[in-house]
Amino acid sequence: MDVENPKNVKNVCKRNMREILINERGSLSVVIIGLFFISTACLVVMSNVATVLVAKRSLAQATEAAAQRGVHSLDKSAYYAGKGTMFTVPLAMITGREHSPIPIDCNRAFLDVILELRNWSNDDSSMKRHELQGIVLTNMECDGSSLEISTSSEVKFPFNIPFLNMDSAVLTSTVGTTNQVQEGFYLFGVRLY
């Protein structure tokens, strides 16, 4: 074979390239290994995202439970002050007057909220995610008729993602609520309809 002839060199290069492109040995293992790493990375990311979403719902449930417990702290002195007569309810129905919100004892509500959040933090039931490290009350606003609380918690990821150095995330939740009297006719504190 005459290597000095440029035409022969060109033909030899074409034939070698064709053999390299036609030969498929080892290419399938590279594809399988690549797909394995991509699938594993997707599973890790999906597991972490699912953990955060479920923990966020658990934190929202804990915050709602604490707000409901706090809003049921009745301020008895404000509630029973100026109670009406037996004509109060019929007059309210005729005039279409709205019921005022039930007054909240803000000091007692604060204690009830703290106790409920503590119960949720120490609870081992299926409602609480075990990845939540502890629920912290970050803000509470009470004006005597409504209650708004904000909580936060740290959630641990089940898998560490390489190169990101993230093993947890901080979640927050805010709930506001008020306690209203249900419409209807009340006789001696019993709702008739």
Q: Indicate whether 1 pLDDT > 60.
A: no
Is-contact 68 177, C-beta < 8 A?
Answer: yes
| Tokens 């019921």 belong to residue | 99
**Burial environment of residue 160 by CB neighbours within 10 A (0 to 12, 13 to 18, 19 or more):** middle
* Residues forming beta bridges with residue 152, ordered by sequence position: 136, 172
pLDDT at 186 (0 to 100): 62
pLDDT in tens, 132-189: 778 899 999 998 888 999 999 998 888 887 777 888 889 999 999 887 766 666 666 6
What 3-state DSSP class applies to 87?
coil
- Cα separation, 91 vs 93, whole angstroms: 5
Q: Of 146, 74, 149, 79, which Cα lies nearest the Cα of 116?
A: 149
B/e letters for 40-57, b = 16+ CB within 10 Å, e = fewer, are: eeeebeeebeebbeebbe
- Cα separation, 70 vs 146, whole angstroms: 10
Contacting residues for 94 by C-beta, under 8 A, at least 6 apart? none
* pLDDT tier for residue 46 given thresholds of 50, 70 and 90: very high
Alpha helices (H) along the chain: 6-22, 27-71, 76-80, 88-95, 106-122
Is-contact 161 134, C-beta < 8 A?
Answer: no
pLDDT in tens, 51-69: 899 889 889 988 999 999 9
